[in-house]
């Protein structure tokens, strides 16, 4: 994907944040996290694989 | 857009722009350079507290762009803008025990398919408890969200 293509951020209802496009993803320690394609970031606070979604929102009944 | 709480602080080289509405109190500025950024002082930014180069370094670390700077010299400022345009990728930053901060060019779609006006910076809730989904409203502190 070209660098100047607009990044799309979608909050999936009752689910994660989907980020599409070529981004710099920076983790809590300030280091860059390599990404490949769309990333799905946890929005429910319950993932065991933060910052990424691991599907926990379903188990925990996360609602927007 | 300049809001009425926004403030500018200048030395002979640069002007630091402060937008309190964007600040989510990550505390990077005063932990790095209390001689310049001291929230207990009024005015809280003392442009004489450090060399320009050091002030720029710390302003650049502000994750939400509540602090930005510009060169007082117009041609120097244009140079900076050109450079930024060429190198900038949209940055998605995970804040420890806090939100996802996104800076750059991006489009947002909300959980009900809502679209929003284009912004240069947004903070998205990561704790699951915001009353302003999908955005952060600071609730992560109340619920003691921790990574």
Sequence ranges of the domains in chain A: 1-48
Q: Which of A10, A45, A64 sits opposite B127 (nearest CB)?
A: A45
Min Cα separation B116/chain A (Å): 11
Residues 16-55 of A with CB under 8 A from B: 17, 19, 21-28, 39, 41-46, 50-51
**Which secondary-structure segment (H or E) carries B101?**
strand B100-103
φ/ψ bin of B65: left (φ > 0), alpha (ψ from -120 to 50), beta (otherwise):
left
Q: How confident is the model at residue B2 (pLDDT cuts 50, 70, 90)?
A: low
User: CB within 8 A of B98, min separation 6: which ones?
Assistant: B24, B26, B123, B126, B136, B140, B145
Sheet containing strand B121-124, edge to edge, reads: A32-33, A23-26, B90-94, B100-103, B121-124
Q: With a threshold of 0.85, tell me whether the complex ipTM lies above it.
A: yes
Residues 93-132 of B with CB under 8 A from A: 93-96, 100, 102, 104-112, 122, 124-129
The pLDDT value recorded for residue A2 is 44
Which 3 state secondary structure label does DSSP give A54?
coil
Rounded to whole angstroms, how far apart are CA atoms B13 and B96?
34
Report the DSSP beta bridge partners of residue B101.
B93, B123
Which 3 state secondary structure label does DSSP give B27?
coil
pLDDT in tens, B29-88: 999 999 999 999 999 999 999 999 999 999 999 988 899 999 999 999 999 888 877 777
Is the pLDDT score of A35 beyond 80?
yes
pLDDT in tens, A52-61: 999 999 999 9
Q: Does B61 touch chain A (CB under 8 A)?
A: no
Write down all domains in chain B, each with its CATH number in brackets: 7-86 (3.30.70), 88-147 (3.40.5.90)
Best CA proximity match to B71, nearest among B82, B61, B79, B63? B79
The pLDDT value recorded for residue B64 is 87
Rounded to whole angstroms, how far apart are CA atoms B67 and B65?
5
Average pLDDT over residues B83-108: 90
Is the pLDDT score of A27 beyond 60?
yes
The pLDDT value recorded for residue B63 is 87
Report the DSSP beta bridge partners of residue B29.
none
Q: How confident is the model at residue B1 (pLDDT cuts 50, 70, 90)?
A: low
Best CA proximity match to B107, nearest among A9, A51, A17? A9
């Amino acid at each position: 994907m070209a660098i100047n293509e607009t990044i799309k951020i979608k909050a999936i209802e009752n689910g994660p944040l989907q980020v599409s496009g070529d981004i710099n993803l920076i983790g809590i320690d300030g280091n860059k996290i390599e990404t490949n394609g769309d990333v799905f970031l946890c929005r429910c606070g319950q993932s065991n694989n933060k910052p990424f979604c691991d599907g926990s929102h379903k188990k925990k009944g996360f609602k927007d | 857009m300049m809001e009425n709480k926004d403030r500018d602080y200048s030395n002979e080289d640069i002007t630091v722009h402060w937008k309190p509405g964007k600040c989510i109190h990550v505390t990077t500025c005063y932990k790095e350079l209390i001689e310049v950024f001291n929230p207990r002082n009024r005015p809280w930014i003392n442009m004489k507290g450090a060399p320009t180069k050091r002030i720029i370094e710390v302003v650049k670390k502000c994750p939400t762009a509540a602090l930005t700077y510009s060169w007082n010299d117009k041609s120097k400022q244009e140079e900076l803008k050109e450079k930024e345009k060429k190198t900038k990728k949209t940055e998605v930053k995970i804040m420890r025990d806090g939100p996802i901060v996104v800076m750059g060019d991006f489009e947002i779609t909300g959980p009900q398919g809502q679209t929003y006006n284009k912004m240069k910076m947004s903070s998205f809730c990561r704790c699951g408890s915001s009353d302003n989904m999908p955005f952060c409203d600071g609730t992560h502190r109340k619920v003691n969200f921790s990574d």
